[in-house]
Amino acid sequence: MHLMMILIVLAVAWWVRSSWNQPQGNWSMRWGRSLFLFLFPPLLIFMTAIAVLFMGPQGQMGGMYTGSVSYLLALIYLAFFAISCIKLAFQGWQSVESARNCPLVNLGDKRARLLQTGALFAGQIGFWQPELVVSQGLLQILSPNHLESVLAHEQGHHYYRDTFWFFWLGWVRSCTAWLPNTEPLWEEMLALRELRADGYAALQVDPLVLAESLLLVVSTSPVLSEICCAALGSSGVDRLQQRIEALLAPPEATQVSQFQSWHGFLLALLPLVAVVFHN
C-alpha cells in the first residue's frame, strides 16, 4: 500500500511540473506560479517519505499489508536529501570563507570585500547576513553613478534575503533535477529575483543608469560560485533584455500576498493524513 501511495505521489509531482510553460503576466503572477510549480512537487514527495518513514515497515493501511520496500525507498530518499544539503552547505561555506579572505574597503557609507580581479563583479555572499563583495575591475571601470546603481541593486538582494532563500531553493533543485522543467523553472526564478532587486534599486537611483550598468556587468562571466551568492549579473545574458525593458517601463508592485503565495502548499501535507489510517 505504501508503494502504491509513493507511485501516485510521483505521478502527481510529474504532472504538476509538466504543466509549466513560458512565463506570462506581471512579476507577482509569474513568481507565485513558478514558485508553486518548482516547490510543491518536491515538498509533496518529501512529506510522503516522512509519512512512510513514520508508519514504519510493518502494519496495515486500507486493509492492505505494507512492506519494507517502500520504507527502504523513503529512507534512501531522505538520506539523499540530507547528503545534498550537507554538500551544498559545505560549498556555500567555502564561498563565504573565500569572500572573507578578501580585504575590506569603504564605499561611501558601505563596507565591502574587495575581490582582486579585473572582471566586473558585485554580489552578496553569505547566508542570512551576507557581505557585499565587489571586484577591483568594477571600481576602476564604473563611474560613481553606475557604481551607486550597482550597490543599490545589491542592497535589494540583502533586503529580500535572497542568499538565504535561494540556498534552500538551490537545495531543492539539486534533489529534484530528475523532475521535468527543473532547470527552466530555476532560471525563471533567478530572473524574477533579479527583476525584484532591479525594482528595489530603481526606487533609489535612475533606472536608465542601472540599465547601463547591467549592460557592462551581465556580459562578464561569474567569478564566484553561485551558492550563497546573489550577484548583479547572475541571471545571465539571456534575461538581459527582459530586465532592461522592466527598468524602462513604469514600476509595478513586486510584493505577493502571503496567503496567495503559500496556501496552495498546504496540499503537500496530505500524505501525512495517511498516518491516521495505518495500524
pLDDT band per the 50, 70, 90 thresholds, residue 258: very low
Domain boundaries of the chain, sorted by first residue? 2-277
Residue range 6-38, pLDDT digits in tens: 888 889 999 999 988 877 777 778 888 889 999
Mean of all residue pLDDT scores within the chain: 82
CA gap 40, 115 in Å, rounded: 38
Query: E strands of 145-243, at which residues?
Result: 229-231
Residue range 80-131, pLDDT digits in tens: 999 999 999 998 898 888 888 889 999 888 889 998 888 888 889 988 889 9
Q: How would you class 53 by CB atoms within 10 Å of its CB: exposed for 0-12, middle for 13-18, buried for 19 or more?
A: middle
Is 253 in a helix, a strand, or coil? coil
Residue range 204-256, pLDDT digits in tens: 999 999 988 888 887 655 566 677 777 776 655 567 788 888 888 766 655 54
Q: What is the pTM for the complete model shown? A: 0.85
For 196, other C-beta atoms within 10 Å of its C-beta total: 20
Residue range 161-208, pLDDT digits in tens: 999 999 999 999 999 999 999 999 998 999 899 899 998 999 999 999
C-alpha cell at 269: 501535507
CA gap 246, 243 in Å, rounded: 5
